[in-house]
Chains A and B, each alone.
Chain A
Amino acid sequence: MATTMEISRPRPIAPLAVLRIAFGLIMLISTIRFIAKGWVREFYIVPKFYFPFYGFEWVHPLPATGMYLVFALMVLTTILITIGLFYRASIVTFFICFVYVELLDKSYYLNHYYFVTLITFLLMLVPAHRYFSLDVLRHPQSKITHVPAWMIRVFQAQLCLVYFCAGLSKLNYDWLLAAMPLKLWLPANDHMPLIGPLLKQTWVAYAFSWFGALFDLTIGFFLLYKPSRRIAYIFVILFHVLTGLLFKIGMFPYIMIAATVIFFADDIPQKEETQIPLRLTTRKKNWLYPILALYICLQLTLPFRYLLYPGKLFWTEEGYRFSWRVMLMEKAGTAFFYVKDARTGRRGEVINTQFLTPLQERMMQTQPDMILQFAHYLHDTYDAKGIKDPIVTVESYVTLNGSGSRLYIDSTVDLARQQENFLPKKWILPYQP
């Protein structure tokens, strides 16, 4: 079959080596930055309660020393990945550490952490260390010059999907016709040199919104298409640097700038005169291909699972994560939790900050699944304090894209009785525009 031929056709390996080095370096910087900002302590040592992902409630943080060791291990493995030493062990170890940390608390979920997880996963499947690496220096016979095309294409496809989905999610009323939330966010940068005064203009918010949507929808194709590739990459750099300056989005711009170098697969001349292609054994193919097929299916369906839920996605956030929905909404909330003793009828209000860090509280207040988790935690906490099986309710107010806050969760529902699952949450009040 033609397609089978195309995906297994030998391609130069150099882009994989470049990606390995660029990605390793960025992740090294990212991890050091994370430690230097004191976030290991603030995010994973200080909190009394964590918000694990559904199905991963068994994942718990280690004691302080353990958490720091995990991050030290990530620093070490990113160095090893970059220089290509003990690559297989390093990339697998890094993957385990990174995923472990991500699973601990969804308060800190960011789409680019999810992206890092995926790229690391794919890097585990490919021999990115068998060219231009210390592993090759140690074992010259391990060097290869060509890999099956899919090993490059899968990264390109992943990136195209990220951008395209991000673009698709911008095709909504708020983003295109109301220029929200950029109309709220951009004026805050009006002290910036040169462009500062412009950012207060409404038309600039519209221009940014439309250009952003257009960029996300098309950039993948411009990167794929050889004649436009260089210009497109310059746009990638400019676009991400600009958003990096305007918004507090951490390492994201640099991760994307590093990852998109994989599109230069055809442009890298290799000097070798004889080709040494990677030969995949049938046994390897037998487990690699199903994994890849499953991976691609998941990637193609996850961003669209929100279609299965009723209501406004930005409001309910059912099917919101893992879908490349970024910077789409300005959402903030305040949640007053009440614990009621069913026997005496006495009701008390909870001070959230006694249990949560400010960041955890902020994230919880706008996300129903986290509100539910916290309600269950309060139930258990006050049950242990002697209020048998208390009723937990919440009076929460949420504002979405500057609409003004309104009641978010049905304040009469006993959240202690509600279970987390993939079904629609009936206790989220419908969005009133």
Chain B
Amino acid sequence: MQRIVILFLTGAAVTILSINCSKSSSKSGSNSTTAGNSDSILVNLGENIILPSYQQLATAVNSLDSSIGDFNSSPNATKLGNVQALFKTAYVAWQSASEYDYFGPASTNQPVLSALNVWPTNATLIDSNIRINSDNVNTFANTAAKGFPALDYLLFGAGGNTLTNYTSDAEAANRKSYLAAVSADIKTESNAVLTAWSASGSNYINTFITGSGNSVSSSLGLLINSMDQDFEILKNDRLGIPLGLIPVGVTSPVLPQEVEAYYSGISAQLALAQLKAVQGIFLGNSVKGNGLGLITYLVNAKAQYNGGLLSDSITAAFTLDVTDLQAVPDPLSQTIQSNPASAQAAFNESQKLVALLKTDMPSALGVLITYGDNDGD
């Protein structure tokens, strides 16, 4: 009796010890193996793709914010045009950084970065906020009255009358201060995420580069999950919902008001920017152009797809989707009514990519998409 208890306890102790040893050694090991092949992919993704995306976003929203300050001090048509142009640049920059919205600083900093792009925006709420001069946009109630969609409405919502809204209109002063508040919020949140990623700030970049492995909490797992989640927004929210394909047709066939950037009419341009950003992560298109991306893992693993290479199939699917989306003219809100076929083609092609990116890629890399235990041997 005692011997068997001792044997069992020894077994348990050995088990626990070996797990602890392996945990601690793998921790110390990961710091020293940054030269390894898989880590150089993470380095390229982190330092040459993700960080520059956030830098670009921060630069763009900072310029936008100062142009709004300039515009507010003495509104005129030239300055409005300048603000509108910088808004478009910043919105495009946001699309190229949204792929990282669901892990790391973008998801842990409060409010989360994805909160900057909740559309359709609530124009009625924005108008009433302006009327009562309520500038605190960072409340739960104002989720749909802030961020880029709010700017979209504030800068383009009145069409040719936009300038007078900020000059002769009775609520011009309130509107100017609301515009400044929305912009300041975008600026604060975008810069906070950049700081958190930067080596000079909270240095999340180091966490990312050293987070090897394929578990759901590894950098690869986090990136693929976040990117896939973001890519489904392209298919579902940017295309599917306005086209009336989602949800089921209880409403009108197409829903023009549901497009992103409804007032400025740059929806297709934004969708394309997002698609190209996802493609860039896959191909490893970085500022340094060394081409180490998710594709590298697939090539290294010689992943197969129906007789060919999975890396080739996904590359081809991206090219097709980009071509299809480029053929969708802006404004999307009109295209889906006059020529829905072009947008539907892009939707279908995106759907094929979702299957490849969500099913084949993680499966070939052994990346787990969810938490929870698996069956053991």
A132 proximal to B (CB < 8 A): yes
Given contacts A250-B376, A341-B249, is CB(A191)–CB(B26) below 8 Å?
Answer: yes
Contact B248 A341 (CB under 8 A): yes
Contacts of A190 in B (CB 8 A): 38
Contact A358 B377 (CB under 8 A): no
Q: Which of B3, B8, B38 has the most A CB atoms < 10 Å from its CB?
A: B8
Given contacts A111-B376, A269-B1, A346-B249, is CB(A187)–CB(B366) below 8 Å?
Answer: yes
Interface residues of A in 333-391 (CB under 8 A from B): 333-334, 336, 339, 341, 344, 346-351, 354, 358-359, 362, 365, 382, 385-387, 390
Q: Which of B14, B19, B244, B363 has the most A CB atoms < 10 Å from its CB?
A: B363
Contact with A along B295-327 (1 / 0, CB 8 A): 000000101111100100100000000000000
Contacts of A332 in B (CB 8 A): 358-360, 362-363, 369
A270 proximal to B (CB < 8 A): yes
Contacts of A399 in B (CB 8 A): 359-360, 363-364
Contact B372 A404 (CB under 8 A): no
Contact with B along A98-122 (1 / 0, CB 8 A): 0000000000101110000000000
A43 to B358, CA, bound (A): 22
The interface-forming segment of B103-111, B191-199, B265-273, B349-357 is B349-357
A403 proximal to B (CB < 8 A): yes
Contact A191 B375 (CB under 8 A): no
B11 proximal to A (CB < 8 A): yes
Cβ-neighbour of B306 out of A196, A248, A404 (below 8 A): A404
Contact with A along B190-223 (1 / 0, CB 8 A): 0000000000000000000000111100000000
Task: Name the residue of chain B whose CB is nearest to the CB of A385.
Answer: B250
A344 to B3, CA, bound (A): 75
Contact B377 A402 (CB under 8 A): no
Given contacts A191-B33, A405-B356, is CB(A111)–CB(B375) below 8 Å?
Answer: yes
Cβ-neighbour of B377 out of A43, A212, A351 (below 8 A): A212
The interface-forming segment of A46-54, A253-261, A273-281 is A253-261
Q: How many A-B residue pairs have CB under 8 A?
A: 206
B247 proximal to A (CB < 8 A): yes
A264 proximal to B (CB < 8 A): yes
Interface size on B, residues (CB 8 A): 65
Contacts of A191 in B (CB 8 A): 26, 29-30, 33, 36, 38, 212-213
Contact B359 A398 (CB under 8 A): yes
Contact with B along A267-308 (1 / 0, CB 8 A): 111100000000000000000000000000000000000000
* B36, chain A: closest CB distance, angstroms: 8
A247 to B365, CA, bound (A): 14
Contact with A along B168-202 (1 / 0, CB 8 A): 00000000000000000000000000000000000
A351 to B1, CA, bound (A): 58
Contact with A along B68-111 (1 / 0, CB 8 A): 00000000000000000000000000000000000000000000
A237 proximal to B (CB < 8 A): yes
* B237, chain A: closest CB distance, angstroms: 9
Given contacts A112-B376, A191-B29, A191-B33, is CB(A261)–CB(B8) below 8 Å?
Answer: yes
Contact B373 A237 (CB under 8 A): no
A37 to B6, CA, bound (A): 30
Contact B301 A184 (CB under 8 A): yes
Contact B250 A351 (CB under 8 A): no
A264 to B10, CA, bound (A): 15
Contact A349 B245 (CB under 8 A): yes
Contacts of B376 in A (CB 8 A): 110-112, 243-244, 247, 249-250, 252-253, 256, 326-327
Q: Which of B14, B247, B307, B368 has the most A CB atoms < 10 Å from its CB?
A: B247
Contacts of B247 in A (CB 8 A): 348-351, 354
B22 proximal to A (CB < 8 A): yes
B246 proximal to A (CB < 8 A): yes
Given contacts A18-B8, A241-B19, A249-B374, is CB(A404)–CB(B304) below 8 Å?
Answer: yes
Task: Name the residue of chain A whose CB is nearest to the CB of B237.
Answer: A351
A330 proximal to B (CB < 8 A): yes
A192 proximal to B (CB < 8 A): yes
Contacts of B18 in A (CB 8 A): 241, 245
A249 to B36, CA, bound (A): 27
Given contacts A185-B366, A193-B29, A264-B7, is CB(A327)–CB(B360) below 8 Å?
Answer: no
Contacts of B372 in A (CB 8 A): 39, 43, 108, 359
B15 proximal to A (CB < 8 A): yes
B5 proximal to A (CB < 8 A): yes
A14 proximal to B (CB < 8 A): yes
Contact with B along A214-239 (1 / 0, CB 8 A): 00100000000000000001000100
Contacts of A387 in B (CB 8 A): 248, 250
A332 to B249, CA, bound (A): 29
Contact A268 B1 (CB under 8 A): yes
Given contacts A188-B366, A212-B377, is CB(A344)–CB(B249) below 8 Å?
Answer: yes
Residues in A lying within 8 Å of B, measured CB to CB: 14-15, 17-18, 21-22, 37, 39, 42-43, 108, 110-112, 132, 166, 184-185, 187-193, 196, 212, 216, 233, 237, 241, 243-245, 247-254, 256-258, 261, 264, 267-270, 326-327, 330-334, 336, 339, 341, 344, 346-351, 354, 358-359, 362, 365, 382, 385-387, 390, 397-399, 402-406
With A399-B360, A404-B304 given, name 17 new contacts (CB 8 A): A112-B375, A191-B33, A192-B26, A241-B15, A249-B375, A253-B376, A268-B1, A327-B375, A331-B363, A332-B360, A341-B248, A348-B248, A359-B371, A359-B372, A362-B370, A387-B250, A404-B360
